[in-house]
Amino acid sequence: FLSLVAEFCCGFFVILILGKFWFLAVLYLLWLYLDWETPCTGGRRSQWVRSWTVWKYFREYFPIHLIKTSELSPNHNYLLGFHPHGVLVAGAFGNFCTGPSFKNLFPGLTPFLHIMPIWFGCPFFREYVMSAGMVSASKESVSYVLNNEGGGHASVIVIGGAEEALNAHPGSLTLNILKRKGFIKMALKHGAHLVPVFSFGENELFKQVANPRGSWLRNVQEKLQKIMGFALPLFHARGVFQYSFGLIPYRQPIHTVVGSPIPVKQNLNPTTEEIEELHALYLQKLRKLFEEHKRNYGIPEHKSLIFE
């Protein structure tokens, strides 16, 4: 989804360069140079963009819901681990970048959705995603958000990243998390409380071509992902006037459940053992959150999360 919008923006930029308005492209390149660090310093959100009526229809299409299970005091900074990635990451965008749900449920907290730095190199597209409240997923950017004196900031990180999108099959509960410990280290360094978030229904929006590990398709996808920085899942869903084939996501409800915070004491130089210990605790809390709520959202009793 993001790549399609980015391609449109890049295409428009090329048209400017090759057309009689080339001087506008030159001016924008100068702006891009001067504004290059903004995605790493809190971005540039616009409440007007975040409140567009189109996002209301976007949320209602599935529909998308945000569920609160515990209070999050605005006196602290938080690192919210979002799971799973899915193909569209609709729950993360719909709940943390549009509408009043997060603000109403967690007053005093400002959410920042971190996405891959590569997107901020795309002309015009970067302005759009920043206006929605998205910032870079670089270490510098996460540090900037979590360094907010007095608290009130919430970094939202899709922990599984692009690689996890390749597991986004309906019914899949596989999370790429066992080797992902950078977010744990960041939480420790900044004393940010960890909050597991599980988005039920995220993997049900599209059907993906079978790509089991070891298959030729999966091998190609993983190689391309390492080269380009983002995954290329082969997916389909419904059309505009028919339900058999198309790229419009299925109308499946998404329930994004925000768990209870895990208190984290600041530790500027955490040891490997301390990182491993907090990572294990996070996995335990994430699994508990899933088990407590899965019955409410159509997950069979015998199904459990798979960490890899």
Domain boundaries, the chain: 1-35, 39-307
Token code pair at residue 284: 């335990």
Count CB-CB contacts under 10 A for residue 230. Answer: 18
DSSP E strands in the chain: the ranges are: 64-68, 78-83, 110-115, 134-136, 153-158, 174-175, 193-200, 207-208, 235-236, 254-258, 306-307
**Whether the Cβ atoms of residue 68 and residue 20 lie closer than 8 Å to each other:** no
Count CB-CB contacts under 10 A for residue 264. Answer: 23
Give the residue from 69, 65, 104, 63 showing the smallest Cα distance to 258: 69
pLDDT, residue 228, reads: 74
Selecting from 3.30.9, 3.40.1130, 3.40.50, 3.10.310, what CATH number does the domain 39-307 have? Answer: 3.40.1130
Place of tokens 């977010």: 183
pLDDT, averaged in runs of 10, over the chain (308 residues): 59 68 79 93 95 95 97 97 94 95 97 93 88 96 96 97 90 96 97 98 94 90 79 84 84 97 97 98 98 96 96
Q: Exposed, middle or buried: residue 251 (CB in 10 Å: 0-12, 13-18, 19+)?
A: middle
pLDDT, residue 6, reads: 60
pLDDT, residue 240, reads: 81
pLDDT, residue 293, reads: 97
SS3 14: helix
How far apart are alpha carbons 134 and 130 in whole angstroms? Answer: 5
**Whether the Cβ atoms of residue 195 and residue 184 lie closer than 8 Å to each other:** no
pLDDT digits (tens, 9 = 90+) for 5-45: 665 666 666 766 777 777 777 888 898 899 999 999 999 99
pLDDT, residue 2, reads: 60
pLDDT, residue 16, reads: 67
How far apart are alpha carbons 196 and 105 in whole angstroms? Answer: 16
pLDDT, residue 101, reads: 95
pLDDT, residue 135, reads: 98
